[in-house]
Structures are given as structure tokens and as C-alpha cells.
Amino acid sequence: MSAGLVPLASTSQIERTPSREDGIPEELEADLRAYGCKLIHQAGILLKQKQVAVATAQILYQRFWYVTSMKQFGIGDVGMGALYLASKLEECPLRMRDLINVYDLLLQQTTHQLSSPAGKGVFKYSPMSYFGNTFYDIKDALVVAEMQILKRLGFNVYVVLPYGTLINYLRVLGLTSHKEACARAWGYLNDAHQTPVYALYAVPTIVSAAIFLSCRHLDISLPSTPPNCWWDLFDAPWEDVWSVCGYVMRLYRDRSPEDRLRVVGMLNKKDVRKWLEENPGACMPEMAITS
């Protein structure tokens, strides 16, 4: 898996992420990654950020967890720092106050969901005091998160987004006139930001997987019999394309209300540490198999 121009996770980082080294199960880590990216997406919409900035933030967020454990930094703080940093990189900078207010709104909504999981009661946002401790605590966490992302990624924040590549591939395959196929493929690329695939595979592979899923769900026939497989045009190995499809489709699986509440209740490092203390052997079977 050659990194090329884009920094990709090493084999050792993929097999044993820092979070798994600290006892967080692989399934839970994937759910926390996805939820952190969802918060970034929701905040980006409320802040009317460019899609490229939101996508860049999600990719930086995913890379961060290959060098740092969720036991050390909260997914909410890191997501906020990633979006703040990405807004600078894409030349659409955010006001720190606006970002903090939006994340405070999202976190209050999460708290409301935890207190009334059945959806009872109407959510009412309570703005924080401009001069209160809460604002300055979140501001400090934001500054620290941005600094740690830069530091732990070695200031390598170069990101290649897949959208231009998708358009070119759709033209080559003659699918640009099929609006639903184009829309579905674009949607799969966006959903893939909730998975770590942009830190694991090259963009041609991810784009090929999005097109494959789109065509499969719409029953669009493309040459798929060796040696005339359409993904070979883009140097995308079939095993990697299939793996990316698995990451994306995992997002759509049914989850119990308990699993959802567990994830939204682990936004900060204190919640993660508390969960690890209450479940000391959660990752032991996986560690035994790996070793």
C-alpha cells in the first residue's frame, strides 16, 4: 500500500491503533470515528461551510486516530479542532465563537437524547454565557485540539478529495447522463468520510468502490469479467475496492438503541476512560487473537 503523495496509515497502525492498544474494541472505535465525523458534518452544515472544508476536516480527523488514542483526546474536541483547521486550509476561516456555539448546540442535543432516549420532551437550546467558564473551557479545548492535530500529523495536512476524480471516471465509463448513478456515487463518497478509508486507500480505489456500489444498487451493467474489469482502468485492485465497499456498507447496518446511546455518551476522554474502567476486559479477546 504505497503512500505516494497522500499519507496513508502503515500496516502496524491499521492492525493495532492507539485506541485499541488502550483497550477500546475495534467495533466501538469505528462507531466513535463515525459519530465524530457526523458531528463535523452537522456543524459544517449549520456554519454553511464549503463541502471541501468539511471533507478535509473529516479526513484529518480520521488520520489523527491512527497516531493518537481516544483515551487521550475526546472525539468532540478533535472534531471541532479538525473543522477549525480545515476552514483555514480551504481559505474559508470560521470565527471561533461561531464554531463553539454550534458544537455547544450539538452537544446539548446529544445530552437531551441521552436524558430522553425515547424522544420525549422538546429540546430547547440554552446559550452559554459569553464570559462564562464553559466558553473558555471549550475554547481552550479547541486550541489544544488544533495544535495536537498539527503536531501529531507532523504538519502534513495535504488532502486529496475524490470529487474531481469521480467526475472523470464517470465520463470514462459513460455514466454522466445517468443522474441517479452520479448522485448515488457522490453520496457514497460523502458517507465514506465517516470511515477510515481515506487514510487507508488511494483515491482511485475509493472512487471505484463508490461507482461499484452505485451501479450494483441500480443494476447498471459494466464489464466485470476478468481480464476486462472496468476498475482495472483506474489501477484499483479488486480486493481493495471490495474492502472499501465493506467499510461503507457497515455504516448502514441496524444498531440497537443501547449501542447508539453508548456512542453518544462517549464524546470526551473522561467518558471513554470511565467506560474502560467499567469494562476492563472489553478488548482482551481481540488482543489475544492478534498476539
The predicted structure's pLDDT at residue 11: 83
3-class SS at 228?
strand
Residue 32, strand partner residues: none
Contact, 214 vs 184, CB < 8 A? yes
pLDDT above 70: percentage of residues in the chain: 91
pLDDT of residue 283: 61
Instruction: With a cut of 70, list the residues of the chain below it in pLDDT.
Output: 1-7, 114-120, 282-291
Q: 3-class DSSP state for residue 27? A: helix
* CA atoms of 43 and 101, how far apart (whole Å): 10
| pLDDT at residue 155 in the model | 95
Integer Cα distance of 175 and 133 in angstroms? 54
Res 284: pLDDT: 53
pLDDT recorded at residue 282? 67
Phi, psi of 225 (to 5 degrees): -105, 125
Task: Say how many residues make up the chain.
Answer: 291
